Structure 1
Amino acid sequence: MRLLKADITKLEVDAIVNAANGALSGGGGVDGAIHRAAGPELLAECRTLGRCPPGEVRVTQGYRLPARLVFHAVGPVWRGGEAGETDQLAACYRHCMELAREHGVRSIAFPAISCGIYGFPAEKAAPIALGIVAEMLPESGVEDAIFVMFDPGIERAYERAFVNTQPNG
């Protein structure tokens, strides 16, 4: 596992994870960037999948992206922490790792799901994300799990949590 400050749409990995909305329709932030970079074929495929509830993930082709696949993970909107947000966020990462195994993904890049406009506090999200991926990594077949940061505050939260997920952390 590693942290990287980069543009997720330019990474040459088997799969990238999209912090998607429930309609899988593109939008702002990383979702909009992925849809723009992949081209209109991505939205056309997403439209065939219907809605996706929080905590679940849908898979599409990568189209014009360097990544072969896009895992559209719908994270929870933060409502104070008492509405199942933690479980829904954990389910996103768990499902991504299960799908990685099913699709033979060796390299995967994750954004900070729900930490942008959905308002999930990064200091709460980072240990969940890193912990689940670290736990599932040995059985997944994934050799390179990358957490892509875009915001300095989120990056610091992930750096702190990353130290604590290491064997000597």
Structure 2
Amino acid sequence: MSHVTPIFTDLVRVETRLYNAVSARLRAEHGLGLGQFEFLEIIDRVPGCRVLDIVGEVAITVGAVSKAVDRLVAAGWCLRVAHPHDRRSSVLRLTAEGEKLLAASRPVVEGELASLTAGVPADDLVRVASTLAVLRASLEAGSHGQPG
């Protein structure tokens, strides 16, 4: 077994436990899953956001992102608006309700993550963040793990 395998296993288990805990709290307090929160964050942050912009960030298929966006639209949290320069495409925008939900959800996500990582020294978290940023950039530059 390579020395990287246990690191990968720990990384996946930590991610799963963090994700599930934050998602459960968000769902309990705001009726919103962490995946939905992430999509709302991306739509809010990326000017002229399209489905492909979300695909590029989360590395899942166009079909999966499109279905998830449809659910956000159905919930009244975002809109698909005709792209001003390409009628075959649409731009995603948060509704007023989506903006309110996102603003109310951000402190929940931050608070839960802070609580879950409180036992880890800040210097260690900084090192982990730096290492993960390098690994993510390397994987994204090589387009490993991109949806097919």
TM tier, smaller: under 0.3
Answer 1 or 2: higher relative contact order, Cα 8 Å, separation at least 6. Answer: 1
More helix by share: 2
- Using the size of structure 1 for normalisation, the TM-score is 0.25
TM-score (norm 2): 0.27
- Judging by fraction of residues, say which structure has more strand: 1
